[in-house]
Amino acid sequence: MIKKALFVLILFVLISPALQQIFGIVAIKPLHGSFTLPPKPTLEKLNWQEWFSGGFQNDFNSRLEENVGFRNYLIRILYQLDFSLFKEVHTVGVVVGKDNYLYENSYINAYNGTDFSGTHRIVDQSHKIQLVKDKLHETGKDLLILFAPGKGSFYPEYIPEKFLGDTDDTTNYAYYVRCLNEFDVPLLDFKDYFTRIKSESPYALFPKAGIHWSTYGAALVSDSLVGYLNSHYGLRLPKFEYHAQPVNDSLKYTGFDYDIGVGLNILSYINQPDLAIVDIDYPDIEDSLRPDVLVIGDSYFINLIRAGFPEAYFDNYQFWYYNRTIYPRPPDSSNNLKDYDTMKEIAKYDIILIIATDANLWKFPFGIIDELYNRMVMEDSSDKVKYYRDLYVDHLPLIFPENSQRFDRIKALLNKQGTINEVHGSYLDYLDRDRFSLSLKLIKYQSGLYRMAVSKAKTRQISVGEMINLDARWMVNDEKRYRY
């Protein structure tokens, strides 16, 4: 009797995936992430040619494996075992920290400074931001930079030891803060602010299993932004009321506060302490009091959009996601910014706000400043001379350490009244060598760039090292398009 029961049980286990695939007996949660599931296997491609070539069998088998019953549940079991036993995850670029704090690699790189884009690029971009800001101000518009905190720099104490490097001031964040202050560019630094209030905040400013600032943290940012706009731009925007209370268990595992956790595709949930749910009561504001604001940057602004902040405080606004697409997509219009004239769009707004977290500062300010500089500031060849003379004469210590060989070389050319072309040529020689070295380092440490290099190497049938060198050279040449 026991043998028969065991046989029936084993038989049921073997055929249950097929029954599930055909009849969908149990509702299975889909997996989260970016992937394409092939369609279910069919006999549509069955013909003599496909059969004898083996094409039909390979296609059918691939589709069958990807659509087998209980597949998603079985994957979650495997991922759960790897997570619970070995602290390993199958989500690309995610690191499990101490006490199960989740990070993305790019935020650890930003904390360590391994994604440093170089003093030359940061000084150049900061200088251009200043000049674009002054040009915009002449037309009655203002430019504001906002730095969001990154999870790696906010919670360095939970980063696994093997991922920690020798941190110093050569991070993109530290050098941008120094340069933007030097060039008198208005900066809202929420990385510094969050660090200062971290120990006294009643609720978590960053969720344990999320990568963006928490719902509560986003409310503090919105409140501070209103105060800044009023004090610096003479606006009279009324403050909003918000009430925070501890979040119940069911909400700890949803939305932006759990945006990494949901992507792990495991069975259990990662406990998230000290999260808050925030009820915001926005005031009714006259349209005449509300500015028109263009926001350009990364996903940290999406928290504010979902909370309804821009609709409440801006009369007309758009969010240019990484300066590539419009989010949310405009009704009945393209969301691809290549379909629009940047200058015509800029003209619609009073304030241009550029936002970035520290993990994205290696590509900040997302190409928008180079484009505006080209079209607003750089009018003829004399502007080129003025730009670089100002840069080398007044700000050379920002580019090269004083008394270094490079500093002395440029200084000597300036002292002997070398032409701007001589000075600039020497500068570009140093710049190209540094940019190539930094690009190599960036590709190796940025998981997304490295995966692309591996994929392209396989397609071209060359080594990964060769492909990384080609990509680094392309990055240097691409940057040259914005030099003068």
User: In this predicted model, what pLDDT tens digit does every residue of 275-317 receive, in sequence order?
Assistant: 999 999 999 999 889 999 999 999 999 999 999 999 999 999 9
Residues 344 and 206 grouped into a single domain: yes
User: What pLDDT was estimated at residue 137?
Assistant: 95
| Distance of alpha carbon 269 from alpha carbon 113, whole angstroms | 32
pLDDT averaged over the chain?
83
Beta bridge partners of 357: 148
Domain limit, last residue, from 377, 396, 423 = 377
Q: Are residues 102 and 241 in the same domain?
A: yes
Q: What is the pTM of this model?
A: 0.82
Whether 114 and 175 share a structural domain: yes
| Residue of 336 and 466 predicted with greater confidence | 336
Cα–Cα distance, 335 to 349 (Å, whole number): 18
The predicted pLDDT at position 312 comes to 95
Are 251 and 338 contained in the same domain? yes
Among the listed residues 432, 424, 428, 435, the one whose alpha carbon sits nearest the alpha carbon of residue 381: 424
Q: Is residue 423 part of a domain?
A: yes
∠ at Cα 159 (158, 163), nearest 5°?
165
The pLDDT confidence band at residue 484, using thresholds 50, 70 and 90, is very low
Instruction: Read off φ and ψ for residue 247, nearest 5 degrees.
Output: -80, 145
10 Å CB burial of residue 163 (0-12, 13-18, 19+) is middle
Q: What is the DSSP letter of 376?
A: I
Note whether 202 and 349 are same-domain residues.
Answer: yes
Instruction: Phi first, then psi: give them for residue 145, nearest 5 degrees.
Output: -105, 135
443 domain-assigned = yes
Distance CA 100, CA 118 (A): 33
| CB contact burial 130-160 (16+ within 10 A = b; e otherwise) | bbbbebbeeeebbbbbbbbbbbbbbbeebbe
Query: What is the Cα–Cα distance from 207 to 230, expressed in whole angstroms?
Result: 30
Q: Which domain holds residue 391?
A: 381-480
Encode pLDDT of 127-179 as tens digits.
Answer: 999 999 999 999 999 999 999 999 999 999 999 999 887 655 589 999 999 99
Contacts of 340 (CB under 8 A, 6+ apart): 334
Structural domain count, the chain: 3
Specify whether 159 is located in the same domain as 206.
yes
